[in-house]
Amino acid sequence: MITFSDTRVTDITQSHCYCPIKFLKQETYQWIRCIQFSFILLFVLISTELYPQVFFGQTYNPQALFKFELNASLCSDDCNFTEIGPSTPWGDGVSFCPNGNLYELTGGAIYQVDTLSGGSTLIFSPPPGPGIQDMEGFVCYEDSTFYSLDQFGNLYLYNILAGTVVLLGHTGINDVLEDLVLFEGEYYFSSYEGIIHLDISNPSNSYVIVPTPGYTISGLTASSICGTLLGINFSDDELVAINLFDGSITHVCFLPNNTNLIATFAEFSSSTSCDVYIDLDCNDSSGAMGSDYNSSNITCLDGSAGIADIDISLQYDAIIVEMTVQLNGLLPDSPWEFLETAGQFRE
C-alpha cells in the first residue's frame, strides 16, 4: 500500500498531476489526470462502472448454503452474507453450468443444488472405477459434461448423457486441493504448489502460474476483474484476490467459519473488466463517489494531508513496472509544496 501526502499547501484552489504508467507488455504510456477542487482529489483514468457480483458458498461445519454479494472493485471487507439453509456436503467441488444451475460433486456423484433452499438432488452416479470416489475438483464444461480432478492430479471428463467418466491424463501435479474453475476461457485449480493453469487438451502441459506460499487455497472462482481469481484461504476463513499477472494475493473479506467452496455464474462471463483503473477510496468512506477521494481541509498549520485513503484499488491488464506522480499547476509556495510517501513499496 502506498499513500501520498501534499505538505505545506496554502491558498491552492486547483492543482493538476499527471501520472504515466508504463506497462510491461505494451511498452506504452497511459496518462492519469488528477484534479483537486476545494480539497477533493479526483483520479480520472477510464470511466469504469463495476457492479456487485453474486456468489454461493458452503460451510462444512455446520453444513449450510449461503449467498453473498461482493463489491466488484474488490474493496476490502465489503461482502454481504445471507444464509439460505442447511445443505448436503460439497465434498469434492461445486460449479455453475451455462444453463444457470448449480451442481456439486460428492463421492464421485453429481447433485443439482437448489439455491433457494440449500437442498440437492442426485442426477448422476458414476460407474465403478478406481479413484473416482476421491475427487478434489469439479467444473462444468457444458450443461451435461464436467471436468474433475482426483487428489493425485488425474483429469477426468464426466458425460451425464453418455453415463461415462473418462480419464484424460495426468496433470503432473500430485497434491491437488479444491477447486477447479473456468475463468476467461481458461481452467485453473489449486494445489499445495500454488494456482495451476490447467491444459485440458494436454493435461501434462499444466503448470504453476501463481505460487501460494503461506496460503491454503481450498476453493477458486471467477471475479469480474481481468486476470483476477478469487480463492478461499481456508486456514483463516478469508476470501482473497489472486492476480494472475503479477502473482499478488490480497485480502478481500472474511468468510463465515469453515467455508470451503464457492462458485459464481460469472465463470461463464466473457465481460470481465480489463480497463486500467485506480480508485483512491475503494469503499467511498471519505464520502467521495466513484474513484475519487475527499481529503481533509488543508491550512498552513496542518502540515500535510493525505490524497488517498488506505484502501486504494488498482486494476490493470499487465505488470506495472513504472509509475510517476508529480504536482503540476499553480504552486504559490514552491518549493515547500511537495508530495511525500507515507507507506511502503512492495517489490
Residue 181: which domain range?
56-268
Both 153 and 199 in one domain: the answer is yes
Both 283 and 137 in one domain: the answer is no
Kindly tell me if the per-residue pLDDT of 132 is higher than 90: no
Kindly tell me if the per-residue pLDDT of 46 is higher than 90: no
The reply to whether 113 falls in a domain is: yes
Q: Which of the two residues, 9 and 107, has the higher pLDDT score?
A: 107
Domain final residue pick, 235, 268, 301: 268
Confidence of residue 299 (pLDDT cuts 50, 70, 90): low
Share of the chain above pLDDT 70, in %: 66
Contact 317, 226 (CB under 8 A): yes
Domain final residue pick, 232, 248, 268: 268
Q: Domain holding 112: CATH number?
A: 2.120.10.30
The per-residue pLDDT for 28 is 35
The per-residue pLDDT for 50 is 44
Both 144 and 120 in one domain: the answer is yes
Both 309 and 198 in one domain: the answer is no
Both 243 and 100 in one domain: the answer is yes
- DSSP secondary structure, 313-324, as one string: EEE-SS-EEEE-
Query: Is 300 exposed, middle or buried, given 0-12, 13-18 or 19+ CB atoms closer than 10 A?
Result: exposed
Q: Which of the two residues, 86 and 76, has the higher pLDDT score?
A: 86
Both 317 and 233 in one domain: the answer is no
Compute CA 49 distance to the chain's CA centroid, rounded to the nearest angstrom: 17
Between CA 82 and CA 236 the distance in angstroms is: 20
Q: Which of the two residues, 316 and 188, has the higher pLDDT score?
A: 188
Both 299 and 244 in one domain: the answer is no
Kindly tell me if the per-residue pLDDT of 1 is higher than 60: no
Going by C-alpha positions, the residue among 191, 185, 138, 205 that lies closest to residue 165 is 138
What average pLDDT does this structure show over 46-59?
64
The per-residue pLDDT for 168 is 95
Q: Write the pLDDT tens digit of every residue in 2-40.
A: 333 332 233 333 333 333 333 333 333 333 333 332 223
The per-residue pLDDT for 134 is 75
Please state whether the predicted TM-score (pTM) of the whole model is above 0.75.
no
Q: Is the dihedral of CA 259, 261, 266, 271 positive or negative?
A: positive
Between CA 59 and CA 81 the distance in angstroms is: 12
Q: Write the pLDDT tens digit of every residue in 255-297.
A: 988 888 899 988 876 566 676 667 777 667 777 777 777 777 7
* Helical (H) or strand (E) element with 232: strand 228-233
Going by C-alpha positions, the residue among 205, 207, 183, 179 that lies closest to residue 193 is 207
Angle at 224 between CA 82 and CA 290, to 5 degrees: 90
For residue 263, give the 3-state DSSP assignment. Answer: strand
Q: Give per-residue burial for 124-144: e unless 16+ CB within 10 Å, then b.
A: bebeeeeebebbbbbbbbeee
Between CA 112 and CA 283 the distance in angstroms is: 36
Both 144 and 215 in one domain: the answer is yes
What average pLDDT does this structure show over 153-174?
94
Kindly tell me if the per-residue pLDDT of 44 is higher than 80: no
How confident is the prediction for the chain on average, in pLDDT?
76
Number of domains in the chain: 2
Between CA 236 and CA 146 the distance in angstroms is: 30
Both 334 and 225 in one domain: the answer is no
